[in-house]
Amino acid sequence: MQYNILIVEDEADISGLLVNILKEAGFGTIQAYSGTEAKLLLENHIPDLILLDLMLPGMPGEELLWYIREEKQYSMPILILSAKTAVSHKVDLLKNGADDYITKPFEPEEVTARVEASLRRAGKGAIPEQSLTHKKLTLCPQSRKAVMGETELVLTAHEYDILLLLIKNPGKVYSRESLYELVWQGGYYGENNTVNVHVSNIRKKLKEHDPDQEYIKTVYGIGFKLS
Ligand code: CA
């Protein structure tokens, strides 16, 4: 089963980043951009965990925390997400029913680790890692492992991300430009050869362990897809 996490965060960039982090870790997400929107969503959805920003338009996070715990009496873990760092404030929040506190700016690994720890404490048990398999290759996005048969492959971060994109969307042809943008997170692709070089390295590494199969197909004039 997949756990659903409600993200209450008014900054679209941060909210989107959290969605990506949590999706990669195998969680489902729902987004609310204000306290009032979260309140409405909670009428119809009971998430397994809530990530709650404090400085929100309209109803502040502190008030929403009170509403969830006191008025609704919901017991799911609530993790506060905020740049407010005064220790006394953290203590107040924890006393008022928050389970943990993530200080902005955060690292993706910290978010995943704290979310999983809170779910474990809430008795939600271990979360089985979702893996993606194609031919003899298996990718585990959460641990960022790539396994071919029994052998773990050593891939660079960019090689891993390219392979993950392709395996997540079999059938989709990615242009070199779009792969560059998605994997290197923006920046001008221009005339450089970066993507080709990375794809050729991935192919070499895969071929060492599975010489008979092709995993990445070149689509002439367009780019690459899973083969
Ligand atoms: Ca905010």
pLDDT tens digits along 30-62: 999 999 999 999 988 889 999 999 999 989 999
For residue 108, name the pLDDT band (cuts at 50, 70, 90): very high
What distances in angstroms separate CA 103 from CA 83, 106, 114, 200, one per listed residue? 5, 6, 11, 40
Give yes or no for residue 127 having a pLDDT over 60. no
Q: Are 173 and 222 in contact (CB under 8 A)?
A: yes
Give yes or no for residue 187 having a pLDDT over 80. no
Give yes or no for residue 12 having a pLDDT over 90. yes
For residue 208, name the pLDDT band (cuts at 50, 70, 90): very high
For residue 143, name the pLDDT band (cuts at 50, 70, 90): confident
More confident residue, 161 or 191: 161
CA of 8 to the centre of ligand 1 (A): 9
CA of 60 to the centre of ligand 1 (A): 9
Give yes or no for residue 128 having a pLDDT over 70. no
Average pLDDT over residues 92-113: 91
Q: Which residues surround ligand 1, an ion (CB under 5 A)?
A: 10, 53, 55
Average pLDDT over residues 95-110: 92
- Residues whose CB falls within 8 Å of the CB of residue 46, separated by 6 or more in sequence, listed in order: 74, 76
Q: Are 24 and 68 in contact (CB under 8 A)?
A: no
Distance between CA 71 and CA 220 in Å, rounded? Answer: 60
What's the confidence (pLDDT) of residue 122? 86
What's the confidence (pLDDT) of residue 189? 62
CA of 203 to the centre of ligand 1 (A): 43
Q: Are 138 and 147 in contact (CB under 8 A)?
A: yes
Mean pLDDT of the residues in the chain = 90
Q: Which of 49-63, 77-91, 142-156 has the highest mean pLDDT?
A: 49-63
For residue 134, name the pLDDT band (cuts at 50, 70, 90): very high
CA of 53 to the centre of ligand 1 (A): 6
- The number of CA neighbours under 13 Å toward the Cβ of 150 is 0
pTM (2 d.p.)? 0.57
CA of 73 to the centre of ligand 1 (A): 24
Average pLDDT over residues 23-31: 92
For residue 102, name the pLDDT band (cuts at 50, 70, 90): very high
